[in-house]
A and B are shown apart, each in its own frame.
Chain A
Amino acid sequence: MSLLAADGITKRFAGITALQGVSIALDEGERVGLIGPNGAGKTTLFNCLLGLLRPDAGSVSFDGRDITRLPVYRRARLGIGRTFQRVELFSGSSVRDHLLFAHRIRLGTGALWKDLLGLGLPKPAEIERCDALLESLGLGGMGDEPIEALSLGQSRLVEVARALMTQPRAVLLDEPSSGLDRAETTALADTMARIQAEQGFGLLLVEHDVELVATFTERTYVLDFGRLITHGPTSEVMRDPEVRAAYLGDFAAGPS
């Protein structure tokens, strides 16, 4: 049984079929890629998995439970973490605050009466925990920095850290390489790979950077025109002429 699975997802927007019967699955502890040219339906599928969109047909399940109708925050509480293509951070908060928020919400211990009695202030143990995670992501010592002072690469790491603080079992990365240069992308990928190996969550990478997917994932799904055109071990997928054609057009299956 898969950890996170989409089964026969179909989604239409005003008559245009963005996804047509797409099924994918992610297991605990594995790294899976989802690629496809611009407009292939990657983002739509991603949003269906997270609950931002409701599919017209098909179902989404998590750990054997049907979550097709659950709202975003319920899925988050079940253990689905994510990052954003356009970095979404809490402006006006420090780096550590991002982690603290996530931690508190995961525990669900916040209550107004505790706050009013002064019991809701950050505790040393919590702060230590946040700093330890920052340290392991290479952001050690940056806890007090305002989020606006970070580079884009660091911001992405904060997003990852925020997702990890909710102790997710599945992490979905939405185009983490966009806006980063080659070196930053590699550094981010290396850090992610290490953390994933340590913590053992399932990781779904939606990317347009084919190279990143090739080096980072074990299995890959390829979408084009809203359909799954192939899937399998990443190295095989990358050799598939159909995949090359999807990216380059009919002209370019040639150069090898």
Chain B
Amino acid sequence: MTTSVLAAGVLEETIRAFFQGLPIGAGFALVAMSFVLTYKTSGVFNLAFGAQAFISAAAYFELHTRRDWPIWSAVLVAVLLVAPVLGLLLERLIFRHVHAVSAVAKLVISLGLMVALPELFKLAVDYNREQPFGAVGIIPDGTAVYRLFGRYPVTRDEIAAFAIMVAAALALAALFRYSRLGLRIRAVVQSPRMTELNGVNADWVSSGSWMLSSLFAGLAGVLLVPTTSSLGTVLEPRGYFPIVIAALAAAALGRLVSLPAAMFGGLLLGVVTTELRTHLPRDNVILNELRGSALPYVMLFAIIVFWPAIRRQIAGSDPLLGVAPPPPALAAANRSRGMTVYTRIMALAFFTAVGIWTFGYANNFWISRITHSVIFSIIFLSIVVFTGLGGQIALCQVTFAAIGAFTAMQFAQRWDVSVIVGMLAGAAIAAAVGAALSVPVMRLGGIWLAIATLAFALFFHDVLVKYGWVGGSLFHGRGVPRPQLFGVDFSSHKNFLVLCVAVLVVVGVLVILVRESSTGMALRALRGSETAAESIGVVSWRSRVIVFSVSAAIAAIGGGLLAMEEKQVSYEANYDPQIGLFWLVVVVVLGARTVEGGIQAGVAFVIFPVLVLERWLHLDGAWRFVLFGFAAISFARHPEGLLEHGKRRSQAAMQRLFTRRPPVAAAAGAGGAAGPGDEP
């Protein structure tokens, strides 16, 4: 008797979870379809769709809840106006002009937009309330509960979300099947150039598909407004992260190219999420985490690593693929010798001046800012190593920095060991974690690597940090002492600054040694041409695993120092994955290729918002996200970084001035020359 009652209860719970999962899955499905649509038509893996969903959701919330517009007009503006226009602008102003660049460069641009767009929106409409109360869905009286089959409760909002998603998917299918635009979009997907040969302007078609996919993202955002599950709320810039990740997982199920797979994948993940939440045992600590926000990250990571379809190369079926020259390598630029000398002289002068000022005149506030700059320079060297030397994008440097910080803290708190030892142990742990993480994902490379590392960073952020052995217990606090070494006390501001500068110099020299030696050679070869590198015997994934570990260790050292400087691990302020995205953007904008570029980025990251934005321009510090985010667009044209580019131009100008001889134009040439394409 009891077993059958229990079984009936389980069944009922299962069905209930199924119906609750569908509407959430509908949101995932819409965003996933947006990803697939733009990836197929323009080769852009637009991570910024999450930001676009947020903007539509927030616009709707702002108009309806705050400004009391009627629902229909708020939906009209947020979904049918704001979303497509935003998509059109992105395509027209940005992505149309970067057709030929590599997929990774496009990903960097979309990361910049992901950072910039929400902040721009918040600044523009003064949208800065942390907890948006009173958000209601687009259906009047949406919280009214119905009982499906007389027993399973669903709200009107949930019914509406699911119905609208189904209607949108059907409309999209019909559009593709029967309309001229649909036919043309499908043609562009197969071959933009062949489409052009048929007298169709492929750029117009591309604009159309961007508007369409942005509309889907916007619709998803608005539909998800009433969903305040443990996934977070779409109304906060951070809240849509889990949604984006789940949508990514859904899109990955179809290798980013299948729309039906993306839709069903989204629904499936929505249902799986709620089912697991219902059925996983509550007494198991680890499984319990899967009930919470960890699930999307784990799913995404698992899909990327284990889904066999992703391993298969997406073979280009475009018969005219040979027409366009290959995209230039991610960072293809050499420095002339004159340039190096010129830079060294300028750097020496600059650092002497800053040094004299700091130790002679600066107050504690500025000394602390400068120490921060030095520490962030160290952290950013890890990005220089992996992105500048390795030519790949990883989004979990922030996690490695956190590992360094927490290890230093744990060593000091638990065993009363010197924080310096703790920091070095942290570097070792980070290197090991990096190696373990990179073995499965490094073979994938490119955008998959970036996505997998983002999933890991978010997993660490939402799950691992909560464990005492990682993030320490709240009871003890997260305090970290300043170090003592060889009898010298580094607890004063100035002494600690000296220590940080010394570490920066050591790390910088090591980075240069690696760059100029065998490891760096293999990486440069891989970055230039992977095919050619393998033809002389380079094992691509092995080199990348090594460099990823080195980069992780550097980030951990920087993270440890940061904790000592602040005398505690300020995890939320310093080591949040979203901050990590911003780190990457700052470094690639200012110059990821050189040690000097990393230092510039460190200084800019710390000093720029305080000095330029707040003191000089009296602007909100959040403008830095907007400025750097949009500056990431420049990465497509100047992969060596904006400052490096500017220096080159100024050096060329100086040279012209003094020698009247045209300088050797170190053209950022194409990686491999394209053949005539006569041979298939």
Indicate if A touches B (C-beta under 8 A). Answer: yes
| Secondary structure call for the B interface | loop
User: B-facing mask of A160-195, CB < 8 A → 1, else 0?
Assistant: 001101100000000100110000000000000000
A116 touches B528 (CB 8 A): no
| Residue of A81, A146, A163 ringed by the most chain B CB atoms within 10 A | A146
Would you list 28 pairs from A and B whose C-beta atoms are within 8 A, ordered by A residue? A38-B680, A52-B531, A71-B534, A73-B539, A76-B535, A77-B537, A81-B536, A87-B673, A89-B671, A90-B527, A90-B528, A92-B331, A97-B524, A101-B521, A105-B538, A112-B519, A114-B517, A115-B514, A116-B513, A117-B513, A120-B517, A120-B518, A148-B666, A148-B668, A149-B664, A178-B676, A179-B673, A208-B679
The distance in angstroms between the C-alpha atoms of A115 and B520, with both chains bound, is 9
Complex Cα spacing A86 to B323, Å:
13
Contact of B510 among A85, A97, A106, A116 (CB under 8 A): A116
- CB atoms of A179 and B676 under 8 A apart: yes
Which residues from 319 to 352 on chain B have a C-beta closer than 8 Å to any C-beta of chain A? Answer: 326, 328-329, 331-334
- Asked if residues A87 and B672 are in contact (CB atoms below 8 Å), the reply is yes
Contact between B518 and A109, CB atoms less than 8 A apart: yes
In the complex formed, the residue of A with least CB distance to B322 is: A86
Is B513 a contact of A120 with CB atoms below 8 Å? yes
The residue from B513, B666, B674 contacting A118, defined by CB atoms under 8 A apart = B513
B residues near A155, Cβ cutoff 8 Å = 673
In the complex, are the beta carbons of B332 and A89 less than 8 A apart? no
- A133 near B: Cβ within 8 Å? no
Instruction: Encode contact with B along A81-105: 1 for CB under 8 Å, 0 otherwise.
Output: 1101111111111100100111011
Are B329 and A84 in contact, CB atoms less than 8 angstroms apart?
Answer: no
Cα of A88 to Cα of B674 in the assembled complex, Å: 9
Select one of A94, A114, A146, A149 contacting B518, CB under 8 A: A114
Size category, A interface? 35 or more
Q: Say which residue of A38, A73, A165 sits within 8 Å of B534 (CB atoms).
A: A73
Is A121 in the interface zone, CB < 8 Å from B? yes
B334 touching A146 by the CB < 8 A rule?
Answer: yes
Q: Is A50's CB under 8 angstroms from B521's CB?
A: no
User: CB of B525 within 8 A of chain A?
Assistant: yes
Is A122 in the interface zone, CB < 8 Å from B? yes
Write the nearest CB–CB distance from A209 to chain B, whole angstroms: 12
- Select one of B519, B529, B670, B675 contacting A115, CB under 8 A: B519
Bound-state Cα–Cα, A85 to B679, Å: 9
- Decide yes or no: A88 and B676 within 8 Å by CB, A112-B550, A120-B513 being known contacts: no
The interface residues of chain A lying within 8 Å CB-to-CB of B538 are 73, 101, 105
Q: Which of B326, B527, B667, B675 contacts A148 (CB 8 A)?
A: B667
Q: Is B532 an interface position by the 8 A CB rule?
A: yes
Closest B residue to A117 using CB positions:
B513
A38 touches B522 (CB 8 A): no
Please give, as numbers and ranges, the residues of chain B lying within 8 Å of A84 by CB-CB distance.
531-532, 535, 672
Residues of chain B lying within 8 A (CB to CB) of residue A50: 535
**With an 8 A cutoff between CB atoms, is A110 at the interface?**
yes
Report if A92-B536 is in contact (Cβ < 8 Å); known contacts: A86-B673, A115-B520. Answer: no
**With A38-B678, A43-B679 known to touch, is A92 a contact of B518 (CB < 8 Å)?**
no
Are the CB atoms of A110 and B524 closer together than 8 Å? no
The yes or no answer to A1 lying at the interface (CB within 8 A) is: no
Chain B nearest CB from A155 CB (Å) reads: 7
B63 close to A (CB within 8 Å)? no
A91–B670 contact, CB under 8 A?
yes
Chain B residues contacting A89 (CB-CB under 8 Å) are 528-529, 532, 671-672
In the complex, per-residue mask of A16-38: 1 if CB is within 8 Å of any chain B CB, else 0: 00000000000000000000001
Q: How many A-B residue pairs have CB under 8 A?
A: 168
- A152 at the A/B interface (Cβ < 8 Å)? yes
Closest beta carbon of chain A to B196's beta carbon, Å: 23
Check if B672 sits within 8 Å of A94, measured CB to CB.
no
Nearest Cβ distance between residue A115 and chain B, in whole angstroms?
4
- A111: B residues at CB distance < 8 A: 518
The residues of A with any CB-CB pair to B shorter than 8 Å are 38-39, 42-43, 50, 52, 71-74, 76-77, 81-82, 84-94, 97, 100-102, 104-106, 109-112, 114-122, 146-149, 152, 155, 159, 162-163, 165-166, 175, 178-179, 208
Give, as a whole number of angstroms, the nearest-CB distance from B607 to chain A. 30
Residue of A nearest to B520 (CB): A115
Can you add 11 more A-B contacts, CB < 8 Å, to A97-B521, A208-B678?
A50-B535, A73-B538, A84-B535, A88-B532, A105-B521, A110-B522, A115-B519, A118-B517, A121-B517, A148-B334, A165-B536
B639-669 at interface with A (beta carbon < 8 Å):
664, 666-669
Q: Does B533 contact A (CB under 8 A)?
A: yes
Q: Are B513 and A91 in contact (CB under 8 A)?
A: no
Measured in the bound complex, the distance between the Cα atoms of B540 and A242 in whole Å is 44
B546 at the binding interface (Cβ < 8 Å) = yes
Give the shortest distance, in Å, between A52 (CB) and chain B (any CB). Answer: 8
Known pairs A94-B334, A105-B538, A146-B334; A112 contacts B532 (CB<8 A)? no
CB pair A101–B332 under 8 Å, yes or no, is no
The minimal Cβ–Cβ distance linking A59 to chain B, given in whole angstroms, is: 21
Q: Are B669 and A91 in contact (CB under 8 A)?
A: yes
Please give, as numbers and ranges, the residues of chain A lying within 8 Å of B532 by CB-CB distance: 84, 88-90, 159, 162
Q: Does B614 contact A (CB under 8 A)?
A: no
Contact of B674 with A86 in the complex, beta carbons under 8 Å: yes
Q: Does the CB pair B679–A93 fall under 8 Å?
A: no
Residue of B nearest to A111 (CB): B518
Identify the interface centre among A101, A117, A155: most chain B CB within 10 Å of its CB. Answer: A101
Give chain B residues whose Cβ lies under 8 Å from the Cβ of A105: 521-522, 536-538
Given known contacts A76-B537, A120-B518, A39 and B513 CB-to-CB distance under 8 angstroms: no
A110 CA to B520 CA in the complex, in Å?
Answer: 10
User: What's the Cα separation between A162 and B334 when bound, in Å?
Assistant: 19
Contact with A along B532-566 (1 / 0, CB 8 A): 11111111100000100010000000000000000
Closest residue of chain A to B516 (Cβ to Cβ) is A121
Q: Which of B334, B522, B539, B674 has the most CB of A within 10 A?
A: B334
Q: Are B329 and A92 in touch, CB under 8 angstroms? A: yes
C-alpha gap A182/B669 in the complex (Å): 25
**Closest CB of chain A to B165's CB: distance in Å?**
35
On whether the beta carbons of A93 and B666 are closer than 8 Å, the reply is no
B533 contact from A42, A52, A90, A97, Cβ within 8 A: A90
Q: How far is the CA of A91 from the CA of B540 in the complex (A)?
A: 17
Query: In the docked arrangement, what's the CA distance between A84 and B300, Å?
Result: 38
Residue among B514, B524, B539, B671 making CB contact with A112, cutoff 8 Å: B514
Which 8 A/B pairs are nearest by Cβ-Cβ distance? A110-B518, A120-B517, A90-B528, A148-B669, A115-B517, A88-B532, A76-B537, A86-B675
How many whole Å from B503's CB to the nearest CB in chain A?
15
Task: Please indicate the chain A residues that have their CB under 8 angstroms from the CB of B328 in the complex.
Answer: 91
Q: Bound complex: CA of A73 vs CA of B534, how far in Å?
A: 5
Chain B residue nearest to A79 (CB atoms) is B537
Q: Is the CB of A88 within 8 A of B518?
A: no
How does the 8 Å CB contact mask read for B395-419 relative to A, with 1 for contact and 0 for none?
0000000000000000000000000
Residue from B517, B536, B669, B672 in contact with A102 in the complex, judged by beta carbons closer than 8 Å = B536
Decide if A101 touches B516 in the complex (CB within 8 Å).
no
The listed residue with most A CB atoms (<10 A of its CB), out of B550, B670, B679, is B679
Smallest CB separation, A79 vs chain B (Å): 10
Measured CB to CB, the nearest residue on chain B to A110 is B518
Contacts of B332 in A (CB 8 A): 91-92, 148
Q: Cα distance A82–B536 when bound, in Å?
A: 8
The minimal Cβ–Cβ distance linking A40 to chain B, given in whole angstroms, is: 10
Q: Is the CB of B334 within 8 A of A92?
A: yes
Q: Is the CB of B673 within 8 A of A122?
A: no
Chain A residues whose CB sits within 8 angstroms of the CB of B514 once the complex forms:
112, 115-116, 120
Contact of A110 among B331, B519, B673 (CB under 8 A): B519
What is the distance, in angstroms, from A208's C-beta to the closest C-beta of chain B? Answer: 8
- Cα separation A146 to B337 with both chains bound (whole Å): 11
A178 to B664, CA, bound (A): 28
